[in-house]
Each structure stands twice: as structure tokens, then as C-alpha cells.
Amino acid sequence: MPPTPPLPLLKRVPPGAWTALAWCAATAYTITVLFRLPGEGPFYPRGYSPLWRPVGNQLDLAVAAVLAAAGCVLLRRRPMTAFALLLLGSVAGAMVQNSSGINFLQFLPVDVALCFIAAGGTRRRSATAAALAVGVLVAYAGTRLMLDFVVGTSVMLAAALTVVVAWLIGDSSRQNHEHTEALRAQAAAQAVTAERLRISRELHDMVAHSIGIIALQAGAAGRVMETQPAAAREALGAIEGAGRETLSGLRRLLGALRESEPASAEQDSRLRPTPGLADLDRLAESTTAAGVRVELEWHGERRALPLDIELSAYRIVQESITNVVRHAGTGSCRVTIDHGPEELSIEVLDHGPGGGGTGASGAGYGLVGMRERTALLHGDFRAGPRPGGGFRVAARLPVPAEVR
């Protein structure tokens, strides 16, 4: 199997690391605001340095760091608990500055965590987390109003807007992932169905022809058993050869199906030798020997064709001859293969009264399989009774431009 490609860089970094990075950015902003840089005026009144007050802001900053670190560690295992810790850490970070509101950068770790929760969890859990974040903003503003402090309404509204945006991004990512998984599951189901149809066509085409030949030979052997022992032995030998050939084909097909790894081209050709147009002469000879004469005619310049066209052409002719043997009630048929410049034309004609398409019940699968094979190659298939009696099967398979 080919090696699994590595994950993108953004997905290789765990969610807790991104949240920790966001908290570091928020803390850097806090320190930048509290320190007076060269050329700046004082952020607080003269003589007021909140970061270096003996107990207040240093303790708030330490509490914020501990809460944020705990939230980053627990985000993957216990996301809601980690989210609550990050919310408390953002409140403590706002208290370091004695801020009138929790600004965007102080709420950035909460937004990053909410995005991951919405992307990887259920919509109900992510909506609860978003409501909890907005509730913390409202509670912070309400507490300041109760203490008769100033409230930064615009700052709080901007932080609430970032919560909505983070939830929308995470929820969209979750929906995209679910849609991709649904498409992958649908494609896998379609591949399984297509493979089952292919196997059923191969088994039908392989077995039906041999069973038809065996039935003819067995009937002939039974009629001449007493009067012509040599002919009976010859018919029994043909039955044995057809049975062995079918059994060998079934073993090759089942052996290929048991392969857990995709086979190489050499192994595939050894396990499943693909019949083609070159095998039609042998097919006509075996059918003629069984009692139904097959006249094989070639037109145009014979050339090598892609394996799928060769196999489909062989199976169409094989199934048509099988239908003639089983249902047409005639002793001969004519197969015409025409190598045209842009397409391969196939025609199988018989003059029997029985109708070469299906059995008496009209429920055969031969014509359905031939029509499916032709449709897969974007060709044209027609089959039906002839006006003067008998049955006609015709298929046109387009030849790729590179082969022309």
C-alpha cells in the first residue's frame, strides 16, 4: 500500500498548543499596555503602576496563567471543563488591567477553544459553549455596573462578535468534514456495487457459456451412447474440457478476489488472464464442436485494442453465442467483427425461431450484462428479433484516439 501522506501543519499542532499560543499573545498585549514604552505617555495616572502593586495584579496574572495552562492541557480530553477554565482565565486577565471590558485579545484563547469544540463536537455542545462565553461577557459587564464602575460596551460587543465568528468557523468545518465523510462512504458503496456487478458479469459470462456447451454435448452423448461409442467418448471429452476450463477460470477469479493487496500488472495477468478478440477463433471452434456452427468473419485491419475493449468484445460475442446455443433453436450463427477507423463493430446473427436474447421465461441477464458492458465504454448496443426471423445482437465500441 502507498504510504499515508503526512497531515498538514495546521492539523499536526494539537488544539491546546494553538490555545496556549493565543493566550501568550493576549498576555504580551497586557504587558505591553501596562508598561510605558519609549515615546508613550502614562497609561495610568502618575504614581499608579498596577502590575507591580504588592498583591493585586501580580496575583491576578498568576491566576490567569494557571487557569489558561490548565485549560490548554485539558482541551482535548475534557473540552467543556477546559473551556470554563479559559473563560475564568480571560476574566482574570482583564482584572490585571482593571479593564472596563474583556477585549478581543484577552478573549482570543476562548475563541480558539470554541472553534475547536465546534469543529470536533456536536452542535448542541458547541452552542452551549458559545452561550457560556457570551454569558461571561454579560456577567462581567453586569458586575462592574453593580459596583458603579465604567463598562466598555463597544469592547464587550466586539468580543461577543468574535465568539459568534469563532462558532461559525468551527461549525462550518464540522459540516464540511461530515459532508466529506458522507461522500467518501457513498463512493466506497458505489465502488463495492460496481465491483459486485463486474464480478457477476464475469461469472455469468464464464459459466453460462460452458454450461450451454456441456448441456449440448451431454445431450449428444446420450443419443449416440449405444450406436456411436466413439462420438459419445468425444462428447464426454469435450464436457470434461469445458468443465476443467470453467473451474480453472473460477479458481483464478476467486484467487484474485482473495488478494488483500492490489496485484501488480504481472500478477494480475497471471491470476486473471484476460480473454480478447484473439480467443474468438477458439471459442468458435469449441462451439462448433458442440453442435452449433459458428461462422466467424473479420473485416478491416486487425490491431491491438485496450484490454477493456478486448474483454468486453469477447464477452459480448461469448454471451451472444451462449444465447444462440440455449434459446435460438438453430444449428448455426454468424459473428462479424469489423475493425473500423474509429470503432469496433460486433454483430451476431442467427436464423432460429426461439429468439436468442432470453430464455422462455424472458428473465435472462445476458442482454442486460452486454448492454452494461457497452455503456461503460460509451458505446451503442442493440438487440432484438429480425424481421425475417432469427435474432440480432449488435454493438459498437468506440476506439480511443491514441489507438487510432
pLDDT in tens, 363-384: 456 788 788 888 888 899 999 9
Q: Which residue has the higher pLDDT, 256 or 72?
A: 72
d(CA 80, CA 8): 26
Res. 392 pLDDT band, cuts 50 70 90: very high
d(CA 141, CA 381): 76
Beta bridge partners of 381: 395
pLDDT at 397 over 60: yes
How much of the chain is helix, strand and coil, in % rounded to 5? 65, 10, 25
CB 358 within 8 A of CB 327: yes
CB 337 within 8 A of CB 280: yes
Res. 150 pLDDT band, cuts 50 70 90: confident
Other Cβ atoms closer than 10 A to 10: 7
2-37 pLDDT, tens digit each: 455 565 555 666 777 777 777 777 777 666 665 555
At 108 the pLDDT is 84
pLDDT at 335 over 50: yes
At 7 the pLDDT is 56
HSE value, Cβ hemisphere, 13 Å, CA-based, for 302: 9
> Quick one: average pLDDT of 128-140?
88
Q: Which residue has the higher pLDDT, 206 or 175?
A: 175
HSE value, Cβ hemisphere, 13 Å, CA-based, for 80: 10
Q: Which residue has the higher pLDDT, 238 or 396?
A: 396
**Cα Dmax for the chain:** 129
pLDDT at 120 over 90: no
CB 27 within 8 A of CB 92: no
What does the DSSP 8-state code read for residue 187? H
Type of residue numbered 150: V
Map out the domains of the chain with their CATH numbers: 9-185 (no CATH), 277-404 (3.30.565.10)
Strands, sheet with 391-398, edge to edge from the N-terminal-most edge strand: 293-300, 332-339, 343-350, 391-398, 380-385
189-220 pLDDT, tens digit each: 787 777 677 667 666 666 766 677 777 777 77
pLDDT at 237 over 80: no
At 267 the pLDDT is 44
Nearest to 332 by CA among 291, 298, 299: 291
Mean pLDDT (the chain) is: 76
At 360 the pLDDT is 37
52-84 pLDDT, tens digit each: 443 446 676 777 778 878 878 887 888 888 888
pLDDT at 160 over 70: yes
Beta bridge partners of 382: 394
What does the DSSP assignment read for 146-173?
HTT----HHHHHHHHHHHHHHHHHHHHH
What does the DSSP 8-state code read for residue 64? H
d(CA 169, CA 41): 39
Nearest to 103 by CA among 158, 182, 150: 158
158: left (phi over 0), alpha (psi -120 to 50) or beta: alpha
Type of residue numbered 131: A
Q: Which residue has the higher pLDDT, 355 or 262?
A: 355
At 380 the pLDDT is 93
Res. 337 pLDDT band, cuts 50 70 90: very high
d(CA 324, CA 382): 16
